[in-house]
Amino acid sequence: MKRFWFLALLLSFTVHAERIKDVADVAGVRNNQLTGYGLVVGLPGTGEQSTFTQQSFQSMLRNFGIQVPAGGRLNIKNVAAVAVSATLPPFAKPGQQIDITVSSVGSAKSLRGGTLLQTFLKGVDGQVYALAQGNLMVSGFSADGLDGSKIVGNTPTAGRIPDGAIVEKAVKSPFDNGDFITFNLRQSDFTTAKRMEDTINNLLGPGVARALDATSVQVRAPRSADQRVSFLSTLENLEFQPANGAAKIIVNSRTGTIVVGADVRLKPAAITHGGLTITIAENTQVSQPNALGQGQTAVTPNSNIQVNEKQARMFYFNPGVTLQDLVRAVNQVGAAPSDVMAILEALKQAGALSGELIVI
């Protein structure tokens, strides 16, 4: 019988203040994703000869003034077509460098040892924001045997180039536009938004900050960009007490892990949980006839049935007790993880559990 490993973890949050910058982002100050298509050359025979790779390679040669005969097919094994992706951070300026990720889009076996040729990185608007080029760093590897055997470690068809792209164009930011700056909470909560509003108004005066909803807090700000930098530097370091999250119980049915939030409470409930085990053993008996008899050997089944019922205990909980008390009581009676999961589900169905029960 498979046994489960059980862990009951009670999340108790100590009351402490957090900075605004740790729980919220400034609207408009965000990353932007860039993508591009290019060629990796210099591979040790681990490239590809797909149609689009041939077309891309011929197009590159034409850019250098080299004409390929019409209908001619190049026999290349050291070239691979790749997709290049990067994240352009906010306020990135032309001339700065960013990291890029290079991934094979064809049948190349490995990009190890390759060099990415100059590749345009475009934003969602189709404009070029960076140029990428450089030698790949690939942690994966692959090896093939003559008998068809193959071994692959990590991912040899993807690699990175630190500082592999140079920013050519800055993305316009609404940071210095308008009369307001908006903070967006990373976890929406009406209480947290209200407390952030009160904290800012206590420093700057009534009406400066206004909570728009459970996510956004709008703050009146100076128009000058340099003044806004100092203004935000002060605001993002203000400390306040965010609200505790909603009461939740998370159950991982595969590992038997149960995580219980600190704010979970039990309503009045009496709980009993027992188990009934039925064991059926099948044995066979052989009946032999007498030596001088005319009978035949007979095989008859013999079933042995045993019933074992656990002695279940009932325990009662007063209103408002925490799940810590429940876990302690269940552990005292020696319940298995599957039993605890069944108890939690029954409590939820009976309406005696305050909090969301999530099974993953």
Residues 6+ apart with CB under 8 A from 347: 266, 269, 271, 353
Residue 183: closest CA among 218, 233, 157, 158: 218
Q: In the predicted model, is pLDDT for residue 5 greater than 50?
A: no
For residue range 54-93, list pLDDT tens digits in order.
888 888 888 888 877 776 667 788 899 999 999 999 999 9
Structural domain boundaries in the chain: 17-28+179-240, 33-167, 248-280+307-359
Rounded to an integer, the average pLDDT of 122-149 is 81
- Which residue is it, tokens 């290079």? 102
Q: What distance separates the 2 farthest-apart alpha carbons in the chain?
A: 118
Helix (H, G, I), strand (E, B) or coil at 308: strand
Q: What is the average pLDDT across 155-159?
A: 89
Q: What is the pTM of this model?
A: 0.67
Tokens standing for residue 9: 């973890």
Residue 249: predicted pLDDT: 76
Q: What is the 8-class DSSP label of residue 207?
A: T
Structure confidence at residue 196 (pLDDT)? 95
Structure confidence at residue 313 (pLDDT)? 57
Query: Which distant-in-sequence residues (6+ apart) come within 8 Å of 359 by Cβ?
Result: 251, 252, 253, 341
Query: Mind listing the pLDDT tens digit for each residue in 249-273?
Result: 777 767 767 777 767 777 666 666 5
280, pLDDT greater than 60: no
Q: Answer yes or no: is pLDDT of 111 > 70.
A: yes
* Predicted pLDDT at 6: 37
Q: Indicate the pLDDT class of residue 13, thresholds 50, 70 and 90.
A: very low
Contact between residue 56 and residue 39 where contact means Cβ atoms under 8 Å apart: yes
184: exposed, middle or buried (Cβ count in 10 Å: 0-12, 13-18, 19+) = middle
CB distance 102 to 125 below 8 Å: no
Q: Please give the structure tokens belonging to residue 265.
A: 């409470």
